[in-house]
Amino acid sequence: MRSLFPLTLTGATIRRKGKRLVGPIDLTLQDQGITIVIGPNGAGKTSLLRMMHGIARLSDGAINWGCDLDTAHAAQSFVFQQPILLRRSVRDNIAYPLRLRGIAKAMARAQADTAGTRVGLGPMLDRPATFLSGGERQKLAIARALITKPALLFLDEPCASLDGRATREIEEILRQAATSGTRLIMSTHDMGQARRLADDVLFLLKGHIHEHAPTPLFFDQPQTAEAAAFLNGDIVE
């Protein structure tokens, strides 16, 4: 199989009702590591991720993968800020993407059990997904996103409303996924999380990429005044 990467965005833009949400973006991403997208609220982080994943229609520009589009779509998953739960058991939620790919129910459920147990949902596999707490829901969403062994996983502020413990557990899961070869592109507003996870950082401002740099460099020597101010905790407009 040809690799997904490089992922290339050229002049990619999304406008809705005459308002520019993000873009034009020119960017090339290679197949290694964890990319963290940061920026003030409204900078277009969510739109950028959805645009790359292909669930928000492009108004302008192009997105190119190292392989054809169908293969690319099949090899990536997305974890939403608000986890979307199917009205089923935890096990059947995690198994669902496998069932969509025509894998037999018993086999899909067995894999879901393993995946669910790995993220710490073992005791809750039989419960309806809606019984889960916020952190557990997000773990479910991540387990479900990873069960198809995607080459690329998008996460949109997955720890936005979680407590410290749940955040730490999820970061651990994500680190393991990255170690086992899944490329992560994730947005966050938690600078600590960005420092802990990022291999490179995309700083987004007003829908544009304001700065793109590898981790120690970006945090230690931001190249732009806005990035420095943002890292400083100032309000950036």
Partner 1 sequence: MSDLWEGIGQALWLLVTLDADLVEITLRSLRVTLTALVIACAIALPIGAFLAVRRFRARRFTIALLNALMGLPPVVVGLIVYVLLSRSGPFGVMGLIFTPTAMIIAQVVIIVPLISSIAHQALRELWSDYHDLLISLNTTQRQRMAALLWDGRRALLTAALAGFGRAIGEVGAIMIVGGNIDHHTRVLTTAIALETGKGDFAMALGLGFVLILLAIAVNLAIHIIGRTEQEGRW
116 binds partner 1 (CB under 8 A): no
Neighbours of 80 (CB within 10 A): 18
130 binds partner 1 (CB under 8 A): yes
Instruction: Give the count of residues interacting with partner 1 (CB under 8 A).
Output: 20
Which stretch in 15-23, 28-36, 121-129, 190-198 sits in contact with partner 1 by CB under 8 A? 121-129
From the list 2, 16, 73, 168, which residue makes contact with partner 1 (rule: CB under 8 A)? 73
Closer CB to partner 1, 53 or 183, in the complex: 53
134 binds partner 1 (CB under 8 A): no
Which stretch in 34-42, 124-132, 162-170, 203-211 sits in contact with partner 1 by CB under 8 A? 124-132
x/- track of binding to partner 1 for residues 38-57 (CB under 8 A): ---------------x-x--
How far apart are CB 89 and partner 1 at their closest, in Å? 6
How far apart are CB 70 and partner 1 at their closest, in Å? 8
219 binds partner 1 (CB under 8 A): no
Residues 75-114 that bind partner 1 (CB under 8 A): 77-78, 80, 84, 86-89, 96-97, 100
Closer CB to partner 1, 85 or 229, in the complex: 85
Both structure tokens of 116? 């669910």
How far apart are CB 75 and partner 1 at their closest, in Å? 10
Can you give the chain as a three-state secondary structure string? CCCCCCEEEEEEEEEECCEEEEEEEEEEECCCCEEEEECCCCCCHHHHHHHHHCCCCCCEEEEECCCCHHHHHHCEEEECCCCCCCCCEHHHHHHHHHHHCCCCHHHHHHHHHHHHHHCCCHHHCCCEHHHCCHHHHHHHHHHHHHCCCCCEEEEECCCCCCCHHHHHHHHHHHHHHHHCCCEEEEECCCHHHHHHHCCEEEEEECCEEEEEEEHHHHHHCCCCHHHHHHHHCCCCC
Residue 232 contacts residue 222 (beta carbons within 8 Å): no
Closer CB to partner 1, 96 or 219, in the complex: 96
Residue among 230, 225, 234 at smallest CA distance from 45? 230
Closer CB to partner 1, 97 or 158, in the complex: 97
Interface residues with partner 1 (CB under 8 A) are 53, 55, 73-74, 77-78, 80, 84, 86-89, 96-97, 100, 126-128, 130-131
